Amino acid sequence: MWSNPPAPADACSAASGPPDESACVQGGHPRPPPVEPGRRFGLVAGAEGAPRARPERKDQDVPIAFGPRMNPAAPLRILLVNRHLNIGGVETYLCRLAAALTARGHRVGLLTEGGRYEDWAVRGGAVLHRVASLRHHWPALVPELRAAGYQLVHAHNYNSARTGRRLAAALGLPYLMSVHGPRPRLKQLFFRDWSREVVVMSEGDRENIRWWGGAGARPIALGFYGIDTARFRPGLDTSAQRAALGLSADARCIVFVSRFSNRKADVGHALLDALPELGGRFPDLHLVLVGEGPEHRPLAEHAVRVNRRLGGEIAHLTGPRSDVEHWMNLGAVCVCTANTALEAMACGRPTIAAGRTGYFGPVQPENFEPARALCFADHGTSPSANTPAEFIRDLGALLLEPAAAARTAAGVTALIERKYSLGPMAADMEAIYRRQLEGTTAGGHH
């Protein structure tokens, strides 16, 4: 069934998405080109009368087919499970992970209901197995998935884990769950689909589930998000972005890239409230908000009020962009959270981490690891709230000393290239997979 996809010229180039696909996971982006007719997918279950999952006890353990110590060079066959492939941080991560694992010689399948990122996943080397409803219709694909010869089922986040654990039991395979983001304790208390060992993407998430009503005494492995540093890099041309906004060559921009939803949109409102004072101190300053989401209209209305007060178009909303790496390069300072913060820093931009859990502040080599432990203000508990005063203080300092800010940013960029690019991310996850297949946990115990 398997056929090796052709390796890209750059081993990780397929992880960066199509030319019009943005890896900015917090901002929204246009739909990429549809998958070509005839492209091989798994069967689409979900027709009338499709079989449903057999009811089973929620505390039933998945049988784990442990094996002997593996050849460390043997290719792996991994089935990833995630409900959607639409715009989002988890979906971006999965497309990058699939491509990076494929570049290392492994075979990757993806069980999903599909979405905008399907073509990206397929071109990266993943085989898609699509269902109309992940929750109800996965049993129809069990024969196909068994024939594919997968060795491990890896589910991402809580909703997909409910299917992933049952699927692993049906296939007789080891089961692994990854957590991407905090979850209220009450919801954790009633969750019964933890894997024997759980993967988290930040120390903040590890602390969120490390209690008796969460993951309990299970081992918790710490993974990390990797960035495509071939795409997100310093020195990209920004003339088209300046022209689109009508900006002069010497205008300076604060660039906020995010999905405009709930607490993340609060960052945009705080920046807009800070703009009048910052604009008074730096007459060449503009604020650019890149993204989309349910809070787009309130942010746009706020920007209109600020521009009216300032007497000109100083605050700009661009909507979803596919060339987000160029918009990041436009920033004298970027304000971002989660993967988007890593992308901005990979572009060599001074970056303030601020997101749904609050305000972290400027990221430097010295505080990079504490910031990453909080997923750059997306997980855990951030030091302070997102207020105009925080932005006025720290943006003012960065804009006042641009040369020093650039030197600091270059140090962060080098750190990301060395430790948090796609190659290290895939190698780290491969080691976790091999440990599962050998029947050991993070502590080395069977």
Q: Pick from 435, 429, 436, 442: which is nearest to 108 by CA?
A: 429
Residues 400/375, Cβ–Cβ less than 8 Å: no
Q: Measure the CA–CA gap between 260 and 292, rounded to whole angstroms.
A: 5
- What was the pLDDT predicted at 262? 79
Model confidence at 182, in pLDDT bands (50, 70, 90)? confident
Residues 76/433, Cβ–Cβ less than 8 Å: yes
Q: Measure the CA–CA gap between 275 and 293, rounded to whole angstroms.
A: 22
347 burial (CB, 10 Å; 0-12 / 13-18 / 19+) is: buried
- What was the pLDDT predicted at 25? 35
Is the per-residue pLDDT at 268 higher than 50? Answer: yes
CA diameter of the chain: 71
Domains of the chain, first to last = 13-45+52-226+423-438 (3.40.50.2000), 239-420 (3.40.50.2000)
- What was the pLDDT predicted at 51? 38
pLDDT tens digits for range 87-136? 777 888 999 999 999 999 999 999 999 998 899 999 999 999 999 999 99
Residues 153/171, Cβ–Cβ less than 8 Å: yes
9 burial (CB, 10 Å; 0-12 / 13-18 / 19+) is: exposed
pLDDT tens digits for range 203-244? 989 999 999 999 999 999 999 999 999 999 999 999 999 999
Please, what is the angle between helix 262-281 and helix 296-310, to 10°? 10
Is the per-residue pLDDT at 303 higher than 50? Answer: yes
Three-point CA angle 84, 60, 187, nearest 5°: 55
Amino acid at 410: A
Of 57 and 139, which is predicted with more confidence? Answer: 139
Three-point CA angle 332, 337, 342, nearest 5°: 70
Q: Which strands, in side-by-side order, build the sheet including 351-355?
A: 315-319, 285-290, 252-257, 333-336, 351-355, 358-362
Is the per-residue pLDDT at 317 higher than 70? Answer: yes
Q: Measure the CA–CA gap between 322 and 344, rounded to whole angstroms.
A: 15
Chain position carrying tokens 């948090």 = 420
Q: Measure the CA–CA gap between 238 and 399, rounded to whole angstroms.
A: 19
Residues 109/76, Cβ–Cβ less than 8 Å: no
Amino acid at 147: A
Q: Measure the CA–CA gap between 416 and 79, rounded to whole angstroms.
A: 28
pTM score above 0.75: yes
Q: Measure the CA–CA gap between 444 and 200, rounded to whole angstroms.
A: 18
Is the per-residue pLDDT at 30 higher than 70? Answer: no
- What was the pLDDT predicted at 89? 77
